[in-house]
Amino acid sequence: MTLKPDPKKLFDLPEGFTYQAISRQGERMDDGLFVPGKHDGMATFAGPDAKTILVRNHELEPGDKDVGPFGKKNELLEYPDQHLFYDFGRGKKPMLGGTSTLLYNTKEQRLERHFLSLAGTSRNCAGGATPWGSWISCEETVDDPDDELEKEHGFNFEVPADATELVKAVPLIEMGRFRHEAIAVDPRSGVVYETEDRPNGLLYRYLPHQKGRMIAGGRLQALRIKGQKSTDTRNWYGTRRIEVGQTLDVEWVDVSDFDPAEDELRVYGYFVHSCARFARAEGMWYGREAIYFACTTGGEARKGQIWRYFPSRFEGTSEENNAPGRLELFVEPNDNSIVENADNLTVAPWGDLFVCEDQEGKTSPGQYLLGVTPSGHVYKFGKNALNEAELAGVCFSPDGSTLFVNIYTPGITLAITGPWEKAIKDVLRKSLELA
């Protein structure tokens, strides 16, 4: 798919596609606060009158006041109710991470309202949508309380999609305390899957005591390959252990300690306990009856892998051992011209994946938005023409008309429209030619 250079030098797209920059950091929102920067993970939900609700993460830390929601000197901190914050920083250094919520009219391609919806959290990197209409925002940090921090960090927080103002931040303790990245929910079972952004991280699942009620608690487990001890899925060090297309039966081990005070020892301990480890597992999404997730530095060339997990039809029950879930290595090109450090991803309405790049070494020019067909063929759909910042938060509107994606910094959210049906046919034709 050929990309057409953008005369505005913001975002290159194929012929016939256009974008609108619908939300930029520093703009005033309807609650009087500023659009925060460091735009990261997002998801969409069906809103009133066929409009789209978009919930967006902001990966901010206390030192990011220049791009925070409260002004460059936190001068607007008096306006939100501080009791709604998770961590107000002892009144000295409030946590600036959180989420903002946007109401977007896809028919008129117009932003109608936006406001801060979660506050007092830190490094809200990605997260995921739930089938019961909420966004789980994930903290990618395990900071401990000190002279400035009031509370432990490293938790998930739930934001109702239909919230109309700032919600109270409540940590979902039993989902684990670690360097969270993203989650995805299988709507059939209600099981929640979680990624960990570490070079030797684990893959988790959360079994809620009550389906759809994260706050009611549950069991946290980590994945291991059935019949194998301590599988290293990364394919590093020149020794290829897992091939593209290879599927592996899995089982799950209870994780009893949520405290990451000895973070490295915790992960290593569970690896020795025979759990599998992954190379910086990041974006995650449910679609086509599977859980897709990206490992940013996986593969022999450390340029990224995309995996998919097929849950057992008995997932999370005592019967799943008889029909275990299966893990498959879906994409690993080991070629930076094809994929360089896959990050956030989503499943398009017609089944392709759309994947954001977060290039670490930047050995290829530009950060791309990639498409991946169900057969694993990768194509370029868009390119950050503004700078070298990563792309993030890719997702489609519920009506399938609009694709949203973020330029991480300076924080800009784009709404992309165009001839999706023709593009799908063109990509399919090209995929068949290459088969």
Mean of pLDDT values over 354-383: 88
Between the CA atoms of 38, 372, 384 and 68, what dihedral angle is there, to the nearest 10 degrees?
Answer: -10
**Which superfamily does 3-434 belong to?**
TolB, C-terminal domain (2.120.10.30)
DSSP character at residue 277: B
What is the rounded distance in angstroms from the CA atom of residue 45 to the CA atom of residue 53? 5
Residue spans of beta strands (DSSP E) within 140-217: 156-160, 180-185, 192-196, 204-208
DSSP string, 97-125: EEEEEEEEETTTTEEEEEEEEEEEE--EE
Which of 88-97, 318-327, 328-337, 418-427 has the lowest average pLDDT?
418-427
Lowest mean pLDDT among 280-284, 339-343, 352-356, 428-432: 428-432
Q: Which residue has the higher pLDDT, 426 or 146?
A: 146
Q: What's the gap between Cα 71 and its chain centre?
A: 27
CA dist., res. 379 & res. 327, Å (int): 24
Kindly tell me if the per-residue pLDDT of 263 is higher than 80: no
Taken as a whole, the chain contains a residue count of 435
pLDDT higher than 90, residue 187 = yes
Cα distance between residue 108 and residue 414, in whole Å: 15
What strands lie across the sheet with 391-396, from one edge to the other? 18-24, 412-417, 403-407, 391-396
List, in order, residues 6 or more apart from 396 with CB less than 8 Å away: 44, 346, 348, 349, 354, 402, 403, 404
Lowest-pLDDT range of 38-47, 259-268, 385-394, 408-417: 259-268
Report the pLDDT value the prediction gives residue 255, as an integer from 0 to 100. 87
Q: Averaged over 5-26, what is the pLDDT? A: 97
Between CA 130 and CA 185 the distance in angstroms is 6
Whether 393 contacts 55, CB under 8 Å: no
Mean pLDDT of 392-413: 98
Determine the pLDDT at residue 251: 96
CB 67 within 8 A of CB 26: yes
Parse the chain into domains and list their residue ranges: 3-434
What pLDDT sits at residue 259? 55
Q: Which structure tokens are listed for 387?
A: 């700078």
**Does 256 score more than 60 pLDDT?**
yes
Q: What is the CA radius of gyration of the chain?
A: 21
What average pLDDT does the structure give for the chain? 93
Which has the closest alpha carbon to 131: 75, 183, 74, 176? 183
Q: How far apart are CA 298 and CA 233, in angstroms?
A: 8
Q: In what order do the strands lie in the sheet with 134-139?
A: 124-130, 134-139, 156-160
Q: How far is Cα 355 from Cα 403, in angstroms, rounded to an integer? A: 12
Residue 175: what pLDDT?
A: 95
Rounded Cα gap, residues 174 and 216, in angstroms: 9
pLDDT band for 366, please (50, 70, 90 cuts). Answer: confident
Strand, coil or helix: 252: strand
